[in-house]
């Protein structure tokens, strides 16, 4: 069976500004031609770094009827708390359609979504490169290794990453 089409969101990046604590996430279910008013949908949120073989074992974000007119795109609401409880992560949203006889469809195409809640890093200072003083720092120095020092910053979180590029 062909998997159902990817869910639609207004943004692939969810944060405090577009998903406040007491808000709702509007997820649009792509329409499908054989929709029946008895169809159900189960929507799951999965860590993109470890998608299980059976994603339907992941946290259930929404379960309910596929609202009319399911043959065209149809919005459903997921309470923000369910999404926010997952924490900061790179995730995928996916879903399964279930017919009246409780037969599940194939798992949908994944919808990538980035979750970042809480205060963002603040008071970031420029990185320091001790080997560049007094200078100049040349390509041959970089090839053998250069230390880059990053000062502590406010609102850091476990799992934060810093990427340094040259050039």
Residue length of the chain: 167
Over residues 62-71, the pLDDT tens digits come to 999 998 888 8
Q: How far apart are CA 29 and CA 8, in angstroms?
A: 7
Q: Which residues pair with 77 in a beta bridge?
A: 26
DSSP 8-52: B-S-SEEETTTS-TT-EEEEEEPP-TT--TT-EEEEEEEETTS--
Q: Angle 93-11-74 (CA atoms, 0-180°, nearest 5)? A: 65
CA–CA distance, 98 with 104 (Å, rounded to integer): 4
pLDDT tens sequence across 12-31: 999 999 999 999 999 999 99
Q: What is the pLDDT of residue 83?
A: 95
| Confidence tier at 133 by pLDDT (50, 70, 90) | confident
For residue range 79-95, list pLDDT tens digits in order: 999 999 999 999 999 99
Contact by Cβ (8 Å): 62, 42: yes
């Amino acid at each position: 069976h062909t998997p159902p089409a990817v869910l639609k969101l207004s943004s692939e990046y969810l944060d405090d500004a577009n998903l406040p604590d007491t808000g709702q996430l509007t997820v649009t279910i792509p329409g499908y031609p054989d929709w029946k008013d008895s169809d159900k949908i189960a929507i799951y949120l999965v860590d993109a770094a470890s998608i299980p073989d059976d994603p339907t074992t992941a946290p259930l974000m929404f379960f309910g009827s596929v609202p009319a007119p399911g043959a065209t795109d149809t919005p459903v609401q997921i309470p923000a708390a369910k999404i926010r409880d997952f924490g900061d992560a790179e995730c995928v949203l996916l879903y399964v359609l279930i017919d009246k006889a409780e037969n599940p469809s194939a798992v949908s195409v994944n919808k990538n979504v980035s979750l970042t809640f809480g205060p963002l890093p603040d008071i970031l200072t420029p990185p320091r490169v001790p080997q560049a003083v007094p200078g100049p720092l040349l390509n041959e120095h970089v090839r053998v290794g250069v230390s880059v020092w990053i000062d502590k910053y406010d609102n850091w979180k476990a799992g934060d990453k810093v990427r340094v590029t040259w050039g």
